Structure 1
């Protein structure tokens, strides 16, 4: 009883300390000053009721009747469905169906919906890249947005100072991000776990601060604007083509429709995701993909098998950064304006949450997780509590389904008794 009482008091105090500053205090900037406003009575009563329930639960949890039955009532995924959905050929079939739907859908959806779907595809691309580092190689990376920023600023600066187009700058942006990924790989070869996460977090912040301070090159906090959109075989999708070029609607002899540009950007993002999925599925069956999984399971055993962990880690960082560079290049082309604040730690946390929520190593899980989290992010009324909801989502997933929404099933053999 004494242990339960201590746990109940500690849990209740912790709940109050966390809930009241988040839900009970509102900060408003008035001029150059900061004003603190208290919460409504309804919010305070909600916090008080939650604290009382927490205290009673922790105090009496060992004496509650039918506790096992309560746990059994928690919804779970049926075993047969769970095993079926994790089969590789079933996931490939689902991917084919999703591709057909995604290819046809933008011609019937609204412009706003297609625009949000394009953002989803960008995060799917980023999740695929980070999945190589975290899901396959087992290297925790908290600064993945740094590679994203390198790809975006590479295209922006090439377009600003050298007049490069999107398709010309796309492979260069991927190569630049891959170079930074390789450079990051060298100092972290001997690190693992929390120490690796701290170094990668510092790398992402260093990139962002450099982009902010190199005002003469990157534009500083104002960023780079007027980044050109992708074209289609030299045909611009804008109302008027720059520098005396030709537009697509003039070439086809049709009236200008701004929706075509949104659909075109969506189809480019869809094509990039398909290429990324094809490359990853092929690489996972190659020796380097098996080496990533061996490194994730046990680095000592990986070394004992004759694999070089240095090469394996560098390849994971390099390939993962390459996809971030491609996604950053497309992000810059779609936005037309980028600033260093577009690549802060929240972006890295968002991408990592997609990988964890979807399932380590699962491409299909990343697609579903990216869709869910981007739609959650688009709820403007809940913008203040976005990070709180991310945290709650992760906690629920760790309790209910720690392997992720759609985990990848490993090839294995079973002997029947």
Structure 2
């Protein structure tokens, strides 16, 4: 039997790399080969042929490396005698998750953890929570949602309007924001019950843009393009984190006998979003093992088979949209209280794209994978602010590479929600035979 390993030929490898370099040079010539120079005589056209050579050489070297890696991986796969095991075993993933939680709990108390690091970690946790919420819709139910930022915006504006107009605290507005976002999820779910794939993506994208346009044009309620400022900050069980109160009330620092520090609020907000994110994770892990979670996965695999088993796709889809939207509403309310100011510019399509990219990059259905993807796509650009102008270039390159290297995502392994017993396994082998 012939081996499936690609045959290695230096000549073919060089020809392939040379062809790729030639194409790259032809594409780079009009883009990099010329530039406008401002001089005393006005604008003149100058050539930069060396840049074209650099582009071709980089593609030539990259193509060779890519081909060698592909051949090496194919050889390793073909020579393996045993069936492939999951990339990350279940016990190792559990221990890794426990280590991540412990590191997150200890982060504010580490010597190097200043206000800047805690702020960035808080931002990453917001996107982790959003990724876990969208994972219910996309990863478990298989419904492509490009307008997820709309529910994020509904939660943020719900909290801001309720707290300012009715004087409600954060702890009362938080569940209300989640309920309002869930109701918007149900409202979106009804018109798209018969849609799948690309058509569903287009409709959800339009829904997200509709919500943003409403926020811009309904100025009397939402403040229009100016947004809403002066949003109420959360308190620690009624103890505000301010230097003092005009009515002589007790503040957080006074109650615990501490000297007032602005870092108290930063650390409190960090632990608050950490608690919300962990609650989202625990809820998702639990609901996956319940009948509704298994119904989502059945719908993702085959809607026709799901219907033939007696499951109602309408209920299954609406529940996925509603629960996923509720978690976006919770994250939106936290975003509003953390920022103290919100505007429609915070809820553009690029936010939906980043959240969806986090889910796809991490591996649809993988909770830990979403954490890693959020750190890569959100955390690294925040730490390297001087490279911000190249953020979208790196973003696109990362997505291209991950689709070539691991189309299923960084950590795509998912434990089955149901396991066959000894009798079931034997019977399955007999039927298969």
**TM-score, scaled relative to structure 2:** 0.82
> Which whole-Å CA distance do the structure 2 matches of 1:275 and 1:242 have between them?
36
1:102 is matched with: 104
Relative to structure 1, is the Cα distance of residues 57 and 232 closer, same or farther in structure 2, using a 3 angstrom cutoff?
Answer: closer
> Which whole-Å CA distance do the structure 2 matches of 1:39 and 1:200 have between them?
46
> Which whole-Å CA distance do the structure 1 matches of 2:124 and 2:135 have between them?
16
**TM-score, scaled relative to structure 1:** 0.85
Q: Give the drift of 1:25.
A: 8.2
1:404 equivalenced with 2:409 (yes/no)? yes
Q: Give the drift of 1:83.
A: 4.0
Whether the aligned pair in 2 keeps the contact of 1:86 and 1:407 (CA below 8 Å) is: no
Say which SS state the counterpart of residue 375 (structure 1) adopts: helix
Whether the aligned pair in 1 keeps the contact of 2:125 and 2:273 (CA below 8 Å) is: yes
Q: Give the drift of 1:328.
A: 0.2
Whether the aligned pair in 1 keeps the contact of 2:148 and 2:208 (CA below 8 Å) is: yes
Question: Deviation per CA, 1:336-367, whole angstroms, max 9, x where unpaired?
Answer: 00000001011101101110111110111111
Q: How does 1:146-295 map to 2 (within 5 A)?
A: 146-241=150-245, 245-295=249-299
Q: How does 1:131-146 map to 2 (within 5 A)?
A: 131-146=135-150
Relative to structure 1, is the Cα distance of residues 70 and 263 closer, same or farther in structure 2, using a 3 angstrom cutoff?
Answer: closer
Q: Give the drift of 1:46.
A: 3.1
> Which whole-Å CA distance do the structure 1 matches of 2:271 and 2:320 have between them?
28
Given candidates 354, 358, 365, the residue that maps to 1:350 is: 354
Q: Give the drift of 1:254.
A: 1.8
Q: Give the drift of 1:45.
A: 3.4
Larger Rg: 2
> Which whole-Å CA distance do the structure 2 matches of 1:384 and 1:295 have between them?
41
* Length, aligned pairs only: 395
Whether the aligned pair in 2 keeps the contact of 1:208 and 1:340 (CA below 8 Å) is: yes
1:128 is matched with: 132
Task: Judge which range, 372-381 or 321-330, deviates more.
Answer: 372-381
Q: Give the drift of 1:11.
A: 4.5
Contiguous gaps of at least 5 residues in structure 2:
1-11, 37-42
1:388 equivalenced with 2:393 (yes/no)? yes
Task: Judge which range, 247-256 or 181-190, deviates more.
Answer: 247-256
Say which SS state the counterpart of residue 412 (structure 2) adopts: coil
Q: Give the drift of 1:405.
A: 1.3
Question: Deviation per CA, 1:135-163, whole angstroms, max 9, x where unpaired?
Answer: 11111111111000000000000111111
Contiguous gaps of at least 5 residues in structure 1:
27-35
